[in-house]
């Protein structure tokens, strides 16, 4: 697997106080999947790939609850 470098604004780092560790794992995984040339903007989460990337095992029920809770939250970055 090719290493992926993720760069993010400091405001995202401080979001750890807003998101659980599991939600941050999901969020950073999705950030690593973003591509400028992807016209759909739709991304799938591969739990196997997420586990391989983080070295953690995930329970699907907890993943579902974590993603449901993320649906109503927004990141706002002030410039």
pLDDT tens string 17-53: 577 889 889 988 988 888 888 888 888 889 999 999 9
Q: Retrieve residue 40's tokens.
A: 């759909």
75: pLDDT strictly greater than 90: no
Q: How buried is 26 (Cβ within 10 angstroms: 0-12 exposed, 13-18 middle, 19+ buried)?
A: buried
User: What domain range includes position 40?
Assistant: 10-70
Is 5 inside any structural domain?
A: no
C-alpha 19/C-alpha 53 separation (Å) is 19
Q: In the prediction, which pLDDT does 46 show?
A: 92
Q: How buried is 70 (Cβ within 10 angstroms: 0-12 exposed, 13-18 middle, 19+ buried)?
A: middle
Q: At what angle do helices 21-33 and 47-54 cross, to 10 degrees?
A: 110
Q: In the prediction, which pLDDT does 51 show?
A: 95
Is 75 inside any structural domain?
A: no
The total number of structural domains in the chain stands at 1
Is 58 inside any structural domain?
A: yes
The residue written with tokens 């699907």 in the block is 60
8: pLDDT strictly greater than 70: no
């Amino acid at each position: 697997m090719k290493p992926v470098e993720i760069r993010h604004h400091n405001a995202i780092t401080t979001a750890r106080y807003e998101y659980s560790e599991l939600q941050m794992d999901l969020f950073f995984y999705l950030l690593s999947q973003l591509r400028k040339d992807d016209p759909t903007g739709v991304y799938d989460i591969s739990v196997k790939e997420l586990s391989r990337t983080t070295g953690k095992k995930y329970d699907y029920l907890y993943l579902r609850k974590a993603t449901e809770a993320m649906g109503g939250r927004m990141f706002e970055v002030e410039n």
